A and B are shown apart, each in its own frame.
Chain A
């Protein structure tokens, strides 16, 4: 495996594949969360399905965790290698003249997302795992909505969510398009892909922010 990731291009292809998986996951996560704004029952049903389905729990969930960990570890590796490639830095370096801020600072937007993910795991994932696989608490298919709403009472937590999702938007404003370039997609659909990328990068994080604010102001 490490042998396969020995070249610059192989590393970026792997980075892109993990990111593309995360992009699909995030869309799915958004759709389910968004139902909490529309219907308590639908949200509970979908969450109950995701929380108890064997394939989701024991196949998709491990893949997701692997993808997240792989993505940020590889992000750090790339950052270190890229820094090493310029051992003496410029006295004057005008990055803004030829590239976007977001594209040059993926590691910083990534770090904020990582900090958020730690919080997110403490908030939702650890209690969930504890509930299901350590305490073996009896499943109540209506518990999910209340657990969600309760989390969004705290204005500090809501604030942290908003900041993290703004940074996620910045990460994806460059990342979405970049992931396709890394696996060599360049054809007549490039312009369309770019537009879809911009739409995804802004709309999905904004949607998550909306859900957090909705529950904060409505309960």
Chain B
């Protein structure tokens, strides 16, 4: 396939960026999107130009590092996949593909297509954990019985890889889906209930401090989430938040 790539190039956080056109040929439809970008970069390097910087690590859909807004959608047009799992067969010969970094005030661009998603880490650090005694008398998690249904829902919420596609897709750059997944995964388990009140208040406070938007319930996040995290988690977080606010 021959394609035209329109790629956001930005020297560093403080320099203004712009879209630059790159023609690319010989793209195989079995390549992943990142492999296609590898080919482009090989070409740029051989010509003595600076390669396009993009985030990636596992290249198998589990780390959440790869980002990219492709033709106006996070992780491109396919569903339930990350950019590293997106195949070039989703595109046609002659296509023009727009590639931009995830856009949010809370995700500042570091260089080219790489954004700083440490705001997610800070939300997680504000309460996305449980406190356990690890001094030698740690209680086995399985010692406490958990309702199967709750265990399944908790596990489903825990599959969130923190990729940020929900924020990128949302017209308000809201981080409600991510935060609600992290809140839910603990709220559903007896071990997580102990600190549930503080957890939801602290994580939402951090989310707001980072400058993410409000939730308009458009549902864009759920559609674009590579892990199928459900909007039900947002409703659960809203309930948890209301209950916690009344308590505190």
Residues of A within 8 A of B (CB): 6-13, 78, 81-82, 84-95, 97-100, 103-104, 106, 174, 177-178, 181-186
Contact = CB atoms under 8 A, between A and B. Distances in A.
B216 A178 contact: yes
Contacts of B205: 7
A94 B234 contact: no
B172 interface: yes
Majority-rule SS of B interface residues: mixed
A7 B208 contact: yes
Contacts of A95: 72, 171, 218, 220
B19 A91 contact: yes
Interface residues of B, number: 48
B174 A85 contact: yes
15 contacts: A8-B208, A12-B238, A82-B173, A84-B105, A85-B104, A92-B69, A92-B100, A97-B73, A97-B77, A98-B220, A98-B224, A103-B217, A104-B216, A106-B216, A186-B235
A85 B217 contact: no
B24 interface: no
A91 B214 contact: no
B231 interface: yes
Interface stretch (B83-91, B138-146, B239-247): B239-247
Given A82-B214, A184-B235, A184-B236, A8 B173 contact: no
Contacts of A85: 104-106, 172-174, 211-213
Given A97-B77, A181-B231, A186-B235, A87 B242 contact: no
A183 B219 contact: no
B6 A91 contact: yes
B236 A186 contact: yes
A89 B103 contact: yes
Contacts of B217: 103, 174, 177-178, 181-182
